[in-house]
């Protein structure tokens, strides 16, 4: 079986076939100042292909965000390895854009200034900076709000700013840490649809952390289901829908419901193990 | 409520107090030595002591301003570096913890011995007193920054020095401004206290001399003037602060 899978054409080592992100035998311990270290991730191996949308799905506390922070270079790799485009991850970099659940906007900067910040750090010429900022602000439908401060925006608008700020630097990889987790369900649905259409137009490699099964099935090509702590990859499930299908359309299909049910079955047992069982 | 009405409602308690002051003194309920009438205190500002009073108050304020001009940048830099670099924290934090509860006026004799009775000793005293709340606030502000702000800046390509200047400092600014406001109030205390003991000029020295000489209206005028200056500086600073933080509050 494994023999048959390795077809001669894919063995050539072409660029497109090589994983953009490669995680190998990764363990990670939290070492609190007091008390014993806690094993957060155990024996994770995972590949993310170019322009793939991968969701990390699991109960809270399973270490899925930790895995994302490690890929981002925000936490040091302790054991095992992570490579991005063939090079080991050491520090954060503009090749890996990141969007956090709490938006992480600079509250002293306006919408435009927030979006410009990364472009300034990239040393992009002023004229192009301005154009790109306008383009991405427009893409997330915030034209007219350029001079507003984050405190004057709703949660959904804040997350749009954060997405525009990250996309503006045009990273090859987008890391999203429960980006819609702090939003009300209507706003979340709208932003999910927008993310899908943005991704369809400018395909990036996306790693998307969520505990929402429907969100994972709707957005991702593949879903990596993680176990309760210590987090391991329990299964990787293909959830790709044909290209060009919008969010509404996907959610009306029978496959969508079936895949959500199947994944929920896997996640539920982990959620119970993580101590969240009371909520059914 | 109109602006005029709101101004009146805020000023009313002060006006009542002023009227009460005048009445109590005029009616002879207290001796004029203990509390001269407000009108006679205000008359000092137009009288023979006026020039002297304004000149010495000016000297005092310049001292305070010089001390603050050093305390603010030093305090902010120290607080942020203490928060950011462990070795700096290990060295400076114990020092700070000792200095924090110490009554800074207790340093007056020491500053005389070390620095004499000139401007340097008084300015140093105000500097040390003002430094502590500024360092503490910058430290607290920098420590309480959201981790994701720092991570975001790094992932957008900011270098460490840029993260410090462009993210940590502005993120800590609300706390820092609170600390500077506290420091300003402390500075006024230390200006006057220092001049009571170690000066031959300044408004604190005048208040002291006039008190001893029985020039009570003039002494009260000195107290009134430096208090008014303190009030004005505080109001101006609050206005500046809210301007610097404009946009952050919803």
Question: Which ipTM score applies to this complex?
Answer: 0.88
More confident position, B74 or B47: B74
Angstrom distances, CA of residue A23 to CA of A2, A31, A43, A44, A94: 21, 21, 10, 7, 19
Report the SS3 class of residue A38.
Answer: strand
**pLDDT tens digits for B24-59?**
988 888 887 788 889 999 999 988 889 999 999 999
pTM of the model: 0.86
What does the pLDDT read at residue A16?
55
Domain residue ranges of chain B, discontinuous segments joined by +: 50-249
Instruction: For chains A and B, count residue pairs whose Cβ atoms are closer than 8 Å.
Output: 68
| B248 vs A91, A97, A108: nearest CB | A108
Q: Do B247 and A108 touch (CB under 8 A)?
A: yes
The mean predicted confidence, pLDDT, of chain B is 91
B154/A169 Cβ within 8 A: no
Q: Which of B17-21, B92-96, B155-159 has the lowest mean pLDDT?
A: B92-96
Distance from CA of B247 to the nearest CA of A (A): 6
Integer Cα distance of A81 and B182 in angstroms: 50
pLDDT at A6 over 90: no
Q: Identify the band that residue A276 occupies on the pLDDT scale cut at 50, 70 and 90.
A: low
By Cβ distance, the residue of A102, A110, A118 closest to B157 is A118
Domain boundary assignment for chain A: 3-95+173-275, 104-170
* Selected residues 154-193 of chain B with any CB under 8 Å from a CB in chain A: 154-158, 162, 166-167, 170-171, 173
- The candidate with the shortest Cα–Cα distance to B186, out of B230, B135, B140, B136, is B230
The CATH number assigned to the domain with range A3-95+173-275 reads 3.40.50.300
Question: What pLDDT, on a 0 to 100 scale, did the predictor assign at position A2?
Answer: 38
Residues 6 or more apart in contact with residue B14 via CB below 8 angstroms: none
With a cut of 80, say whether residue A275 has pLDDT above it: no
- Residue A12: pLDDT above 60? no
Least confident window among A254-263, B25-34, B134-143: B25-34
Q: Which pLDDT does position B220 carry in this prediction?
A: 93
Tens of pLDDT, residues B80-118: 999 999 888 888 888 888 888 888 888 888 888 888 888
Q: Is A179 on the interface with B (CB under 8 A)?
A: no
Of A104, A122, A165, the CB nearest to B148: A104
Asked if the model's pLDDT at residue B156 lies above 70, the reply is yes
pLDDT confidence of residue B100: 84
- Which residues of chain A lie closer than 8 angstroms to B247, CB-CB? 107-108, 110, 149, 151-152
**Alpha carbon of A204: minimum distance to chain B alpha carbons (Å):** 16
Residue B176: partners with Cβ closer than 8 Å, 6 or more residues away: B76, B79, B134, B137, B138, B141
- Using only C-alpha atoms, what is the Rg of chain A? 19
Q: pLDDT tens digits for A131-169? A: 999 999 998 999 999 999 999 999 999 999 999 999 999
Domain B50-249: which CATH number of 1.20.1270.30, 1.10.3720.10, 3.40.50.11890, 3.20.20.70: 1.10.3720.10
- The Cα of B171 is separated from the nearest Cα of chain A by a number of Å equal to 8
């Amino acid at each position: 079986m494994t023999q048959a899978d390795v077809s001669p054409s894919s063995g050539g080592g072409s660029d497109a076939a090589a994983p953009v992100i490669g995680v190998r035998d990764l363990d990670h311990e939290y070492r609190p100042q007091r008390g014993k270290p806690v094993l957060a991730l155990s024996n994770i191996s995972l590949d993310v292909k170019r322009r793939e949308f991968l969701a990390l799905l699991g109960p809270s506390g399973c270490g899925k965000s930790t895995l994302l922070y490690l890929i981002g270079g925000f936490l040091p790799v302790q054991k095992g390895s992570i490579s991005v485009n063939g090079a080991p991850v050491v520090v954060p970099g503009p090749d890996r854009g990141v969007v956090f659940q709490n938006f992480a906007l600079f509250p002293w900067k306006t919408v435009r200034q927030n979006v410009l910040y990364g472009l300034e750090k990239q040393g992009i010429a002023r004229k192009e900076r301005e154009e790109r900022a306008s383009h991405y602000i427009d893409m997330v439908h915030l034209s007219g709000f350029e001079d507003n401060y984050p405190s004057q925006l709703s949660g959904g608008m804040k997350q749009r700013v954060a997405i525009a700020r990250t996309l503006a630097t045009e990273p090859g990889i987008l890391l999203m840490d429960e980006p819609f987790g702090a939003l009300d369900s209507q706003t979340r649905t709208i932003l999910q649809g927008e993310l899908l259409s943005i991704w369809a137009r400018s395909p990036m490699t996306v790693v998307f952390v969520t505990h929402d099964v429907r969100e994972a099935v709707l957005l991702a090509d593949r879903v990596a289901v993680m176990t309760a702590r210590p987090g391991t990859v329990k299964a990787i499930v293909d959830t790709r829908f044909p290209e060009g299908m919008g969010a509404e359309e996907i959610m009306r299909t029978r496959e969508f419901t079936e895949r959500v049910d199947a994944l929920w079955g896997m996640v539920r047992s982990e959620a119970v193990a993580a101590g969240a069982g009371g909520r059914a | 409520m109109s602006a005029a009405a709101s101004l009146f409602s805020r000023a009313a308690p002060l006006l009542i107090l002023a009227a009460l002051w005048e009445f109590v003194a005029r009616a002879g309920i207290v001796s004029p030595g203990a509390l001269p009438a407000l009108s006679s205190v205000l008359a000092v500002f137009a009288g023979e002591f006026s020039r002297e009073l304004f000149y010495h108050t000016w000297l005092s304020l310049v001292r305070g301003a010089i001390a603050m001009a050093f305390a603010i940048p030093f305090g902010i830099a120290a607080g942020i570096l203490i928060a950011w670099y462990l070795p700096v924290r290990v060295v400076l934090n114990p020092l700070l913890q000792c200095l924090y509860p110490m009554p800074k006026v207790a340093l007056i004799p020491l500053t005389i011995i070390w620095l004499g009775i000139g401007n340097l000793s008084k300015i140093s005293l105000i500097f040390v007193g003002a430094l502590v709340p500024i360092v503490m606030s910058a430290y607290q502000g920098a420590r309480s920054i959201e981790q994701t702000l720092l991570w975001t800046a790094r992932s957008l390509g900011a270098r460490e020095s840029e993260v410090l200047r462009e993210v940590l400092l502005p993120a800590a600014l609300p706390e820092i401004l609170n600390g500077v406001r506290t420091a300003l109030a402390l500075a006024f205390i230390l200006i006057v206290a220092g001049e009571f003991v170690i000066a031959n000029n300044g408004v604190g020295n005048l208040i002291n001399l006039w008190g001893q000489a029985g020039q009570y209206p003039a002494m009260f005028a000195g107290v009134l003037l430096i208090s008014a200056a303190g009030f004005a500086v505080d109001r101006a600073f609050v206005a500046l602060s809210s301007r610097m933080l404009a946009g952050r509050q919803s």
